[in-house]
Structure 1
Amino acid sequence: MAKIVSNFFISLDGVVERPDQWHFPYFDDEMGAVVGRGVAATTAFLMGRTQYQEWSEFWPNQSGDDMEFASFINSVPKYVLSNTLTETTWQNSHLISGDTDQVAARLRELKEQTDGEIAMSGGATTVRWLLANGLLDELRLLVHPIAVGHGQRLFEGTPTYPLRLVDSATLKSGVLNLTYAPA
């Protein structure tokens, strides 16, 4: 049985939006190894409509330094949660739509039929929905030692979600590598 794992670059003040504008000074070989282990365990990828639209325009056309991740993300099964998309055109993408109960049932079925990790990254709205519906198995955060001061926060305007720490490490850059599971 697979587990759904959400991965975020996050600032000390909880911002997850636009990590490309604040994250890279902290990215080094050690963080690359953490990210690489996550990618190696991923057997499917879960995303919302916005991320799907952005990534489906970008990743199929990449080469050079981006080729290793491009090969992975272009070939791995991708499941897109959306009630506004009518089709997916990116290689190996599958649309999951319907009301909350239908989508949750489809994801539970997917977890039962799949092994490994179904990775979810980039969408605070999606991770909140997964938590609210009891579908998220792990939340992995790379907490950067920076206060961004603006942007979407991971848990902005949400109910209380008790979590328990299942793993932690401090990287040389000062980034905290934290893994939580629902309590």
Structure 2
Amino acid sequence: MKKIIAGLFISLDGIGEAPATWHFPYWNDEMGAAVGAIWSRSDTMLLGRKTWQELASYWPHNPEAEGADVMNGTPKLVVSSTLDNVDAWPNSTLLEGDLVEAVAELKAGPGKDISISGSLTLTRALLRAKLVDELHLLVHPIALGSGTRLFDGGEHIPLQLLSSTTFTTGVLHTVYAPA
């Protein structure tokens, strides 16, 4: 069975909103290797609407950028109740039907794992539905004070720490699984 692997850049105070505005000073080869390891295990990306729109505004227009071959070439499933189409970024498809049922069906299908990048609302919903198998948090040494948090005060989600690695930039890469 495939795994759902969610990877998020978050601040010390749990904010994962708009990482493009604060995370790049911490990017290095260590973080690139950690993110690359997730991508190498997956053959499909699962993205929420906001994350898809942000990524779609960059990647299709920058085919020479490092990582563009993976970002543009990997099939993307987009979760949205407001988008009519996802033609702006090749290899993107709207995920139809009930989210939990559709993702459970995807997990049971053939192929490699499915990765989620960012997509706080989507990740939160799949954690609550117990469909996330690994949660990779790249915790940055910065407190942002305001913004959307991964955990929004909803129900308890017990997790178990599988590993943790500290990068030279002070970023902590933690990997959790459902407890």
State whether TM-score is above 0.5.
yes
Describe how 1:116-127 pairs up with structure 2 within 5 A. 116-127=112-123
Distance 1:159 1:50 in 2: 23
Q: Which of 147, 168, 172 is the aligned partner of 1:176?
A: 172
Partner of 2:108: 112
Q: Say which structure is richer in helix.
A: 1
SS at match of 1:30: helix
Contact 1:128–1:158 (Cα < 8 Å) also in 2: no
Describe how 1:32-111 pairs up with structure 2 within 5 A. 32-64=32-64, 66=65, 68-89=66-87, 90-98=89-97, 102-111=98-107
Distance 1:96 1:35 in 2: 24
Distance 2:49 2:32 in 1: 26
Partner of 2:21: 21
Task: Give how far 1:54 is off.
Answer: 2.5
Instruction: Specify every segment of 5 or more residues in structure 1 that has no aligned partner in the other structure, as ranges.
Output: none
Task: Give how far 1:94 is off.
Answer: 1.8
Distance 2:6 2:70 in 1: 17
Partner of 2:133: 137
Partner AA of 1:13 in structure 2:
D
1:17-74 per-position Cα deviation (integer Å, ceiling 9, x unaligned): 122222222211222221222222221000111222222232111043x1x4222111
SS at match of 2:6: strand
Task: Give how far 1:5 is off.
Answer: 0.8
1:120-171 per-position Cα deviation (integer Å, ceiling 9, x unaligned): 1111111111012121111101111121112111102321111000111111
SS at match of 2:57: helix
Distance 2:45 2:23 in 1: 22
Distance 2:155 2:51 in 1: 24
TM-score normalised to structure 1 length:
0.90
Distance 1:60 1:121 in 2: 17
Contact 1:138–1:182 (Cα < 8 Å) also in 2: yes
Distance 2:137 2:149 in 1: 13
Contact 2:96–2:102 (Cα < 8 Å) also in 1: no
Contact 2:5–2:38 (Cα < 8 Å) also in 1: no
Classify 1:153/1:77 alpha carbon distance in 2 versus 1 (closer, same or farther; 3 Å). same
How many pairs are equivalent?
178
Identity of aligned residues (%): 47
Contact 1:163–1:181 (Cα < 8 Å) also in 2: yes
Distance 2:92 2:20 in 1: 25
Partner AA of 1:76 in structure 2:
T
